[in-house]
Structure 1
Amino acid sequence: MNIQAIKDMIARINQDMWITIIKANTTNKPPPLPYAVYNITSPYIKERGQGAQYTDDAGNEIRSEQYRQTISFNGYAEDAETTMELVFNLRQWFLFLGKSYLQENNFAVYQIGGIENRTTFLVDSYEYKYGFDVQLRTSYELARKNDETIETVNIGGI
């Protein structure tokens, strides 16, 4: 699992969309409105099968596996309309604007949910919040050097 790749993706979305996106569930003071938060709600969802294991030309043992992960995004703004627009634009990044970035960085959009009203009522006001979940497919590869070699083989049984 490569958390740094997700952090890099969030930085790229910030750059492309001019949307401030912060990590959810932190005690840091939130930035000024509007902004969005992300939360990795399912970091590893196993795909079918056991993955692939093989030996490369250099004699290294390689194991690769595909998996999915779910990231939840929520947008916050002064009013419901601005919040909806912010989240709609963020969702479009995954569907179109960021497609080449995702492919270059070993991600594929597996499923993207609809935009949902996640507004909450505070003591005397509303916190306007809309969001969606995106499920990305990615893979990882492990390699280890195969140092075991057979020096002699006794075939005759004597």
Structure 2
Amino acid sequence: MNLAIIKEVIARIKLDTGVQIVKGNTIAPQPARPFGIYNLTSPYIKGRGRGAVTQYKEGTSIFEKRTEQYKFTISFSFYAGNVETTIESAYKVHQWFLFLGQGFIRDKNMAVVSVGNIQDRTTFLVDEYEYKHGFDVQLRATSEQIRQLAETIETINIGGI
């Protein structure tokens, strides 16, 4: 999982939509409303199989590479002082994943698997409502692992002939 790419996606969403999104479940102070939060609710969902293993040679060294595809889910929630603004913010980001951000996501070697429905996530606090709407996005990414193989003996002379 490349968390730096997730941060790039969040920054690009703000650039393209104007919606500020910060990391959720932190002790950092919340920004002024309206804003959104994101959480990686499922950082690794295993794909089928065990991945593809290939060998290649670079110079005199032999390497083994394992490539796999996996999915991960990001949950977005948008906060504001009223319901209309939360819906509007959620809708802008929802549309970004469906269309505007497709090229950017593809350039990062990922793909959108599914974009969930926008849902009311409003909660009642002690004496007031906390208005929020949100949705989940599932993305597919590729992971590669490379290791150098130990040198192998091609032939051995066991004496005699």
TM-score normalized with structure 2 length: 0.92
Hey, what's the Cα distance between the residues in 2 that align with 1:78 and 1:129?
A: 9
Hey, what's the Cα distance between the residues in 2 that align with 1:155 and 1:53?
A: 33
CA-CA distance at 1:143 after TM superposition: 1.1
1:11 alignment counterpart? 11
TM-aligned CA distance change 1:154 to 1:49, over 3 Å = farther
Q: Deviations over 1:86-114 (max 9, x none)?
A: 10101111110100000000110111110
Hey, what's the Cα distance between the residues in 2 that align with 1:137 and 1:155?
A: 52
Name the SS for the 2:90 alignment partner. helix
2:129 alignment counterpart? 126
Hey, what's the Cα distance between the residues in 2 that align with 1:9 and 1:55?
A: 32
Q: Deviations over 1:116-145 (max 9, x none)?
A: 000001111111000000000001111122
2:148 alignment counterpart? 145
TM-aligned CA distance change 1:153 to 1:134, over 3 Å = same
2:82 alignment counterpart? 79
- The percentage of counterpart residues that share the same residue type is 53
* Letter matched to residue 4 of structure 1: A
Note if 1:33 corresponds to 2:36. no
CA-CA distance at 1:51 after TM superposition: 0.3
Unaligned 5+ segments in structure 1 are none
* Letter matched to residue 106 of structure 1: N
CA-CA distance at 1:151 after TM superposition: 4.5
* Letter matched to residue 42 of structure 2: S
Cα RMSD (Å) of the superposition?
A: 1.8
Unaligned 5+ segments in structure 2 are none
Hey, what's the Cα distance between the residues in 1 that align with 2:20 and 2:71?
A: 25
Hey, what's the Cα distance between the residues in 2 that align with 1:11 and 1:155?
A: 64
Hey, what's the Cα distance between the residues in 1 that align with 2:42 and 2:158?
A: 52
* Letter matched to residue 108 of structure 1: A
Name the SS for the 1:56 alignment partner. strand
